[in-house]
Structure 1
Amino acid sequence: MLNFSIGKIARLSTRFKEDLLNPLLEPLFSKWRRGNIAMFHIGRSGSTVLGNLLDQDTNIRWDGELCPDIFQALDCTEERRLALHELKPLLGRTTDLLDRIRHGQRRAGTRFYGVELKFFHLYAFDLGLSECIERLSGLGFDHFIILERRNYLRKIVSSVVAKETGMYHVKHGCKSKLNRISLNVEQVSVDRQTMPLLEFLVSYQECFRQLEQLLKNRKYLKLTYEEDILVNPKVAYGKVCSFLGIEGNPVEVNLSKTNPYPLSDVIENFDDVSKHLEETSFKWMLHDD
């Protein structure tokens, strides 16, 4: 009973600080805040496990992705999610997204404030990468992280599996189940968009290259799922702490890999997908297990 009371008091204290005190003192805190962080990724790249580690750090308030909440509020039902072209006319101006970010900053107090953005989120708000970075800089964002899953095919497969099963994450210590899917190479549907498989792969590649070019004269950290998260997510956490100039806290990984199986086991029509990518620079992604 005593432990429960202490825990409840701690939660109420945190809410008081984040909901009332920090916003009230934002004019002062914004000057003393240690920094603002924007992390770009395409999803299914270890962003959630990394975000959870960062959020455990007392030096950081990690807000994660803001756009999904905005999108879901406009969806017809949980079963009927609007496609990106249906969402765009319903979304407000770019300033609506920036207002959400400002709200998060006010709750951060003097801690680092972090937010995540996917490329298709920006497209939904008619916000180009260059303009996005400039707008974020205007809000005091001075640290940028690029989290790339080099095997884009695995990202797509993971997205399709998650969409079909409703299982987006697996708790640490639990074993993931093999879920097989069929991948229509001419009509892949992920991230509220439908287009040919190759078009997705090329788009991801171009967005990451453009992002690196835009950030070359800014303070940014490049992480990859394969090198920094796949084996031990704490590697990525440690690199972010070094990037921010903080020592870090003891943190615990609370998620496991959702699709650790070879793509040949997951994709029912693996031969069709192989033929489709045979003469492309993405062929290696088929067997990167």
Structure 2
Amino acid sequence: MPIYLSSHHLKMDEELCFFNQDTLVIKAPKKTPLILRMVVLLFTMACGVYICLVCLKQINPNKTMIKFLNIKVIDYDNESCPDPHLEQWEIPYVHYPKPRTFERNECACNPVRYFAILSMQRSGSGWFETLLNNHTNVSSNGEIFSIPDRRRNVSSILKNMDKVYNLDWFSSASRNECSAAVGFKWMLNQGLMENHEEIVKYFKKRGVSAIFLFRRNLLRRMISVHANSYDKEAKQLNGTHKSHVHSPLEAQILAKYKPKLNATLLIPELKQDEETAAKATQYFKTTRHIVLYYEDVINNRTKLNEVQKFLGLPYRELKSRQVKIHTTPLSNQIENWEDVQKTLKGTSYESFLADYQVSSLALL
């Protein structure tokens, strides 16, 4: 009997195959888009490259570790030279410089402390610095910013300080690679006050300790300033000018000059000096610092022990060859003594008129 198939059945016949009594349905495969094939290929290649790199790293595992360790040593000098005796607060003030001009060799792990003597002219800072340099472990490099070009701007100031604290500054006070404390002397009128904000930041960042040295009797400082200015012109010592002397004879010659002070400007000038010193200590109050007075250091030598402790130095008996210039009573040092006396009596500066005894081996 003939079987008639409709158009519907014929269409299904194109998509389905019948085998015996079991029906096997096979759908015609759809064509895979070209973009999808490319994505799969690129993914496969990327995986292959990654697997190769992992295998190469496993072959030489030490290379990466060596690089990491080297970076750690460079970034953390204090950790590369551990000192079990250091207290926690001392760590920011202990340094291990790496000079460019020489090698520290066996002293590479000897700690170095940075300091700066902040003072005013004729306040005994030169004498004080010779005491520090008498210590075998100290290098104080003098008044480095007395040269205007070195303090022409903040960048120049910071650059010169870096040179000092990296141990690349050479002067007659320079020690050797085993210096335990290094610094310099800085007068308040040598760019310090004008740039105090940047300098305070530098001190705190580099761990620099400030040593303030002032003079209680500002009248005596004023006499010394005038006498020193006069000698710059007169050159009383065989045609040469000397701010500091090393023999009683030289001191006697320089002490012959008696300045005449302006009585009208006397109190304003003393007040200005007083305010400048107070302002400086206020500016640097957030830094690690110590405040000393010339008269106290002369009359109480235990003050020098305090300084050595402040700098973390072993104690030494410190000496100076400098000789004090003005040793006679104030009435013999000022030409118009009576005017000065009359001006200061009854004021807060009257105490400056009093005389006191100091060692003849100290500098004025």
**TM-score, normalising length: structure 2:** 0.57
- 1:160 is aligned, of 226, 234, 237, to 226
Paired with 1:172 and 1:223, the residues of 2 have a C-alpha distance of 26
* 1:66-77 alignment, distance < 5 Å: 66-68=144-146, 70-71=147-148
Instruction: Work out whether 1:34 is the aligned partner of 2:112.
Output: yes
> What is the CA distance between 1:198 and its match in structure 2?
2.6
* 1:243-254 alignment, distance < 5 Å: 243-254=310-321
Q: How many residues align?
A: 237
Letter in 2 for 1:137: K
Contact 2:204–2:287 (8 Å) recurs in 1: no
After superposition, the Cα gap between the structure-2 partners of 1:92 and 1:61, relative to the gap in structure 1 and judged at 3 Å, is same
* 1:270-289 alignment, distance < 5 Å: 270-289=337-356
**TM-score, normalising length: structure 1:** 0.70
Helix, strand or coil: the match of 1:227? helix
Letter in 2 for 1:223: L
Deviation string 1:127-185 (CA, Å, 9 cap, x unpaired) is 2x4443223333x1431111111111111101111221244212155572232121123
Report the counterpart of residue 143 of structure 1 in structure 2.
Answer: 209
* 1:102-113 alignment, distance < 5 Å: 102-107=162-167, 111-113=180-182
After superposition, the Cα gap between the structure-2 partners of 1:27 and 1:200, relative to the gap in structure 1 and judged at 3 Å, is farther
Q: Which moved more, 1:145-154 or 1:38-47?
A: 38-47
Contact 1:148–1:225 (8 Å) recurs in 2: yes
Q: Which moved more, 1:161-170 or 1:129-138?
A: 129-138
Helix, strand or coil: the match of 1:176? helix
Contact 1:26–1:106 (8 Å) recurs in 2: no
* 1:164-175 alignment, distance < 5 Å: 164-165=230-231, 166-171=241-246, 174=249
C-alpha root-mean-square deviation of aligned residues, in Å? 3.1
> What is the CA distance between 1:274 and its match in structure 2?
2.0
Letter in 1 for 2:131: L
After superposition, the Cα gap between the structure-2 partners of 1:96 and 1:49, relative to the gap in structure 1 and judged at 3 Å, is same
Query: Which gives a bigger RCO, structure 1 or 2 (Cα 8 Å, sep 6+)?
Result: 1
Report the counterpart of residue 14 of structure 1 in structure 2.
Answer: none
Helix, strand or coil: the match of 1:259? coil
Paired with 1:146 and 1:26, the residues of 2 have a C-alpha distance of 32
Q: Identify unmatched segments of 5+ residues in structure 2.
A: 1-97, 169-176, 232-240, 357-364
Paired with 2:208 and 2:251, the residues of 1 have a C-alpha distance of 38
Deviation string 1:215-256 (CA, Å, 9 cap, x unpaired) is 444322221111112x47x54432211112221345432111
- 2:251 is aligned, of 168, 176, 182, to 176
- 1:95 is aligned, of 155, 176, 183, to 155
* 1:13-32 alignment, distance < 5 Å: 22-24=99-101
Instruction: Work out whether 1:185 is the aligned partner of 2:263.
Output: yes
Report the counterpart of residue 334 of structure 2 in structure 1.
Answer: 267
> What is the CA distance between 1:269 and its match in structure 2?
0.5
Report the counterpart of residue 194 of structure 2 in structure 1.
Answer: 126
Helix, strand or coil: the match of 2:251? coil
Letter in 1 for 2:124: G
Paired with 1:200 and 1:30, the residues of 2 have a C-alpha distance of 48
Percent of matched pairs sharing the same residue: 24
Helix, strand or coil: the match of 2:185? strand
Deviation string 1:65-107 (CA, Å, 9 cap, x unpaired) is 1122x14xx8xxxxxxxxxxxxxxx962122122222222222
Report the counterpart of residue 59 of structure 2 in structure 1.
Answer: none
> What is the CA distance between 1:36 and its match in structure 2?
0.9
Instruction: Work out whether 1:58 is the aligned partner of 2:124.
Output: no
